[in-house]
Amino acid sequence: MRDIEDWMWAEALEMLGRAERMQRQFFQPNRRARRAVWVPPLDVYESDDEILVAIALPGVTPDSVRVQHEGRLLLVEGVRHIPVAQRNTAIHRMEIPHGWFERTLQLPKGLHLEHQEFTGGCLYLSFRKV
């Protein structure tokens, strides 16, 4: 019985370690940017006629995001403000990144940005294949 408990405890600690490594991987600072920024994670989906890019931007408002698509380069940048910054509040833990963010992505040739939508904390960009 003790072996099973030890094994379960070791597995739980390993899972926590993996989760912390994933968080550091996804929300790492971008050292090549013009200023100190964090890098939001993204997903890319492809169908026969479009490419969809989903970028996780929790707590970011649509008016604080700039999307630029030139040639093959997609640049998404903006700022996430600390929601309680205007209040007399002590912050005890801060894991969600804030401040300036920037994400670049090389896309295939011949895409046209057709639609962008902000929903559920994600920015969705739909590119039509030309």
Amino acid 36: pLDDT:
74
Amino acid 24: pLDDT:
56
Report whether pLDDT(83) > 60. Answer: yes
Amino acid 32: pLDDT:
56
Burial 18-42 (b: 16+ CB within 10 A, else e): eeeeeeeeebeebeebeeebbbbbb
What CATH number does the domain located at 29-129 have? 2.60.40.790
pLDDT digits (tens, 9 = 90+) for 36-59: 788 999 999 999 999 999 999 998
Report whether pLDDT(28) > 60. Answer: no
**Per-domain boundaries in the chain:** 29-129
Amino acid 85: pLDDT:
62
Q: What is the model's pTM? A: 0.72
Lowest-confidence region among 29-33, 85-89, 125-129:
29-33
